[in-house]
Chains A and B, each alone.
Chain A
């Protein structure tokens, strides 16, 4: 069964001057962890808001749990959990008061669905009397997730839950999402971090309001059309300049400790690359083929 269906959604702001979504379609299965991957301004938040009944699309239809987001918005609001990109809890209420309040908002109690939030809430328990505004970034997001989960929603919308969160908390956060999936909760999560994409069942790559591709992370990587080379040397900047000047280079960009490079013709150009760089007298030159990441795939699609 499909938990979320969006078909041909269009949305623009400022009387059509700023397009935010252009023909966006996707579907999320029940119990699926679906990632929306894309840079800032790709339209992720707009899509979230349309699905969470907060905005109306200019064109197209969307259904959550089989209910239309326009007509049945009240019913949808009973059964989804929504965590906006910005921290949106009461900063002057304590951790416990926030959770208790949101439990009451959804007509439930902390005890009733405690098993769902237990793992997360246990980490927050030592700080339960602390004001939410005084928590660290990671703690805030965990509390927000607790509050979005406390009524056992069937669909969970998480808009950039890990932005601005330290790497350890990010890892923990994703482990929690994996557990929630086991409960049969469908999760739509957006992130600007490409490394988190591989943790999703399926991902949609978004850019400038359009969906570039939807597939499982491994399929997206498999679809990478060429061999990918990682090249490094002592003088990385000069190396980048030289690689970009190389006549057989298809694309080259800086990627952490090495430059990622694709060639116009994998078979014939590999040997000449080695020769070309040796001639340029780069020290500590290393050239290896590597497995592409989601980010490489994303770059290749632009």
Chain B
């Protein structure tokens, strides 16, 4: 136990004395959250929209007022001719056009059904999906009010059209993505580098010729990074709640527990990488290639997995961050409980076991 503590202290000293790396470790989540966060929120608030009102009736006027009153939208112009819309979008300033068809109120009152076309500039898919979502919500609110007044099944159907990028599906959230990326980076990459550094500097050689069990060297390497990762989870959550107004809908304890599970999986992965590499550079490249890129591409954080070709979808199942991304999204954004994420959690547990197993088998008690 004394030895265990001595090793942990040593690791903390290594980390704390390498101040440049430490700065990056703690600075990175903050910078990323702020970058991703403001790239998103600033644009969604006060988005410039145009209205094409072909109906000119009381209902369309009421809806236009609501859109204008919303903090998300800022009506730039009201158009009266449909061919002006494309010209307006070409300026790049307009995020959304709301088109009321002729006889909007008449249709709604007589057939109980009317549609409003929402045309979004989907060259920025993130913003496009967000603004159409907000606009749809306003339409839905209006519809619910009408139903409350008269018990008729009025339905206003938003017809969404994504300009420039029709394939866009669903809004993603960057907070789970950033969490997956940061945790993977710190836990897997930093641990593998820390272990490989001992090999590279020759200290592993000295430690091998000592009574210390090799497992001790490695486990104690990982522990400080669990702490660092938990600090980063906290930072990200605090930033997202207080700075970005992304509330945690589900259980915070569950979220932290799942994060811990993912950290363990990432550490196991880092361990595995460290057993197959001999230099810090290779460890870093391997981490980047094996962890970072797949996290970005296959976790669903940047690109929706549903749109990928079948083989890519299959590959994505082997990326641990995909499952963690789903878990965080479900718990944090959708507010779901453990019942709906137990499968993902189980997959992460299984992956951790496999990585540890392989690392264990690969671990060398000698130099060769």
Contacts and interface: CB of A to CB of B under 8 A. Distances in A.
A29 to B, nearest CB: 22
B209 A55 contact: no
B211 A97 contact: no
Interface stretch (A77-85, A174-182, A210-218): A77-85
B219 interface: no
A87 B209 CA distance: 15
A92 B205 contact: no
A54 B6 contact: no
B210 A106 contact: yes
A147 B203 CA distance: 12
Given A88-B206, A92-B18, A104 B366 contact: no
A70 to B, nearest CB: 10
Ranked nearest first, the 8 interchain pairs of A and B with the lowest CB-CB distance are A88-B202, A104-B6, A82-B209, A54-B367, A78-B211, A86-B202, A92-B17, A88-B206
Contacts of B210: 77, 102, 105-106
Given A73-B366, A101-B6, 18 more contacts: A54-B367, A55-B368, A56-B366, A80-B209, A82-B209, A83-B206, A84-B205, A84-B206, A90-B203, A91-B201, A92-B13, A93-B13, A102-B206, A105-B3, A105-B210, A105-B211, A105-B212, A106-B210
Contacts of B211: 74, 77-78, 105-107
Contacts of B14: 90, 92-93
Contact of B13 (A55, A97, A147): A97
Contact of B207 (A73, A100, A105, A148): A105
A53 interface: yes
Interface string B16-54: 011000000000000000000000000000000000000
A83 B210 CA distance: 11
Contacts, number: 74
A80 B208 CA distance: 11
Contact of B202 (A87, A92, A93): A87
12 contacts: A49-B367, A53-B208, A54-B205, A54-B208, A77-B211, A90-B203, A92-B13, A92-B17, A100-B6, A102-B210, A104-B2, A105-B3
A21 interface: no
B interface: dominant SS? helix
Interface in B290-318: none
A56 B18 CA distance: 36
Contacts of A4: none
Contact of B365 (A73, A78, A102, A147): A73
B10 interface: yes
B3 A104 contact: yes
A53 B366 CA distance: 7
Contacts of A78: 211
B224 to A, nearest CB: 14
B200 to A, nearest CB: 10
Interface string A144-168: 0001100000000000000000000
Interface in B183-216: 201-203, 205-212
Nearest to B204: A88
Interface string B100-144: 000000000000000000000000000000000000000000000
A109 B2 CA distance: 11
Nearest to B217: A105
A15 to B, nearest CB: 12
Q: Which of under 10, 10 to 19, 20 to 34, or 35 or more describes the interface residues of A?
A: 20 to 34
Contacts of A91: 201
Given A105-B212, A107-B211, A54 B3 contact: no
A166 B208 CA distance: 29
Nearest to A100: B6
Interface in A40-98: 49, 52-56, 73-74, 77-78, 80, 82-84, 86-93, 97
A84 B17 CA distance: 25
A33 to B, nearest CB: 20
Nearest to A147: B206
A46 to B, nearest CB: 10
Contacts of B13: 92-93, 97
Contacts of B367: 49, 54-55
Contacts of A82: 205-206, 209
A78 to B, nearest CB: 5
Nearest to B213: A74
Contact of B209 (A53, A92, A100): A53
Contacts of B208: 53-54, 77
Contacts of B203: 88-90
Contacts of A87: 202
Contacts of B206: 82-84, 88-89, 102, 147-148
B202 A84 contact: yes
B19 to A, nearest CB: 11
Contact of B368 (A56, A90, A106): A56
B10 A90 contact: yes
Contacts of B17: 92
A100 B366 CA distance: 25
A89 B207 CA distance: 10
A154 to B, nearest CB: 14
A148 B205 CA distance: 12
Contacts of A102: 206, 210
B209 to A, nearest CB: 4
Nearest to A70: B366
